[in-house]
């Protein structure tokens, strides 16, 4: 097990980062987070006591800052991004400069020996690969600005040595910086508070992965870097290629009063309808440890604490 590495995580205060960074510290690494804290999140508060943790509040596009921080890094994990199609559409310049240009800058500033591990979305598989298992050789043809910036960032990273990328399934589970806009989290949140969801494209399939298993994939990559580098890997639960309706059935098992209805009220901007093979990363010795059912139970517990009450009295 690799220990004592200097790891720079941009966007480390986000949904993935605030779960990953404590796990990196627990493994004995020294971690520096660069994040602009755009959501005013205090998601790293519980690790400030750790002398192996440092944090810089700044923009990942600030070349002077990134250059100084990269100089001492063994591993760079660029998580900073405007994440998701709606946010990218709302700030298109930000999407390109943060999700793509800032990653290209990291590639330019890093020495060839420094390692980069980048997360990508697998949503681009959805276009044209509907009925077959998508592997890492399937074409990624993203149609949203978010998807395009992420795929272009992956291309930039994979052009250099000592890099690898993950193509993540839809992530679920509790994290210190919570996101309720992700599909599983969103449905469970609605099931807890509204007891109902209206589904569009109910039979469209996707795959899913727990946020702690994403963090475990990054740890696995650091530990097995020489064997894994130079490649992209799908990361998802192989037993959870499920449609939205099937996902709702799973939630119903935990919350029997939950109902879901179907109506043509929307369309997924990414047109996600695909099943994904994760055998490539599984062949490297990685296996997820958190099931979808465990994640649903965890979310139900978590949502007893979290509620968007800013403009309501209850
Ligand atoms: N969550 C998923 O399902 C998923 C799936 C595939 C890929 N990813 C990728 O994983 C990464 C993290 O996603 P997440 O779910 O944690 O999202 P998130 O929105 O919770 O995290 C993004 C983080 O980046 C920071 N950030 C944004 N702009 C910045 C800037 N200009 N300078 C510095 N920091 C900035 C934010 O403050 C936040 O902490 C992203 O690169 C995303 O594309 C996530």
User: What count of other Cβ atoms lies within 10 Å of the Cβ of residue 86?
Assistant: 12
Q: Which atom of ligand 1 is nearest to the CA of 39?
A: 37
* Interatomic CA distance for residues 214 and 16, integer angstroms: 8
For the chain (314 residues), the mean pLDDT of every run of 10, in chain order, is 91 98 98 98 98 98 98 98 96 98 98 97 75 88 93 98 97 97 96 93 90 98 98 96 94 97 81 87 98 98 82 68
Q: Is 80 in the pocket of ligand 1 (CB under 6 A)?
A: yes
119 touches ligand 1 (CB under 6 Å): yes
CA atoms within 13 A on the CB side of 308: 10
pLDDT at 306: 83
Q: How far apart are CA 264 and CA 261, in angstroms?
A: 10
Token duo for residue 67: 């250059």
Regarding the beta carbon of 199 and ligand 1, being less than 6 Å apart is answered: no
The model's pTM = 0.96
Where are the domains positioned within the chain? 6-172+208-236
**Residues paired with 77 in a beta bridge:** 9
Task: Round to whole Å and give the CA distance between 174 and 185.
Answer: 8
Domain 6-172+208-236 fold:
Rossmann fold (3.40.50)
Bridge partners, 261 (sequence order): 198
Phi and psi dihedrals of 36, rounded to 5?
-90, 0
C-alpha dihedral, 119 to 122 to 124 to 125, nearest 10°: 150
Ligand 1 and 16: CB distance under 6 A? yes
Q: Are 313 and 256 in contact (CB under 8 A)?
A: no
Q: Does the C-beta of 14 come closer than 6 Å to ligand 1?
A: yes
CA 13 to ligand 1 centroid distance, Å:
8
State the residue for tokens 């469209």: 204
Find out whether the beta carbon of 125 lies less than 6 Å from any atom of ligand 1.
no
At 272 the pLDDT is 74
Give CA–CA dist 167/122, Å, rounded: 5
Give yes or no for residue 174 CB within 6 A of ligand 1. Answer: no
CA neighbor of 303 nearest in space, from 163, 225, 204, 190? 190
- pLDDT value of position 308: 66
CA distance 52 to 37: 20
Distances (CA, A) of 60 to 90, 101, 140: 19, 10, 26
Q: What single DSSP character describes residue 91?
A: S
Cα(181) to ligand 1 centroid in Å equals 13
pLDDT at 81: 98
Closest CA to 83 of 22, 13, 23, 31: 13
């Amino acid at each position: 097990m690799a220990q004592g590495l200097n790891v720079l995580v941009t966007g480390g205060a986000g949904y993935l980062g605030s779960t990953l960074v404590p796990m990196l510290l627990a493994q004995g690494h020294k971690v520096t987070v660069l994040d602009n804290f755009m959501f005013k999140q205090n998601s790293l508060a519980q690790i400030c006591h750790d002398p192996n943790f440092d944090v810089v509040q700044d923009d990942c596009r600030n070349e002077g800052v990134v250059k100084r921080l990269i100089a001492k890094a063994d591993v760079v994990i660029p998580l900073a991004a405007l994440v998701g199609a709606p946010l990218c559409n709302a700030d298109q310049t930000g999407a390109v400069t943060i999700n793509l240009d800032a990653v290209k800058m990291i590639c330019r500033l890093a020495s060839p020996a420094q390692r980069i591990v980048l997360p990508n979305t697998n949503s681009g598989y959805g276009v044209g690969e509907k009925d077959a298992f998508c592997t890492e050789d399937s074409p990624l043809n993203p149609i949203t600005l978010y998807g395009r910036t992420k795929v272009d960032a992956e291309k930039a990273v994979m052009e250099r040595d000592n890099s690898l990328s993950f193509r993540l399934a839809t992530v679920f589970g509790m994290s210190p910086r919570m996101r309720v806009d992700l599909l599983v989290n969103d449905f469970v949140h609605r099931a807890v508070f509204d007891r109902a969801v209206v589904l569009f494209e109910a039979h469209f399939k996707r795959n899913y992965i727990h946020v702690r298993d994403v963090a475990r994939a990054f740890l696995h990559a650091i530990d097995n870097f020489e064997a894994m580098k130079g490649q992209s890997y799908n990361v998802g639960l192989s037993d959870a290629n499920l449609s939205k309706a099937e996902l709702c059935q799973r939630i119903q098992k935990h919350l029997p009063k939950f109902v879901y209805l179907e109506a043509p009220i929307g369309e997924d901007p990414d047109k996600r309808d695909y099943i994904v093979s994760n055998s490539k990363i599984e062949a490297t010795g990685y296996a997820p440890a958190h099931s979808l059912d465990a994640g649903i139970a965890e979310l139900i517990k978590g949502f007893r604490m979290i509620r968007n009450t800013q403009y309501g009295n209850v």
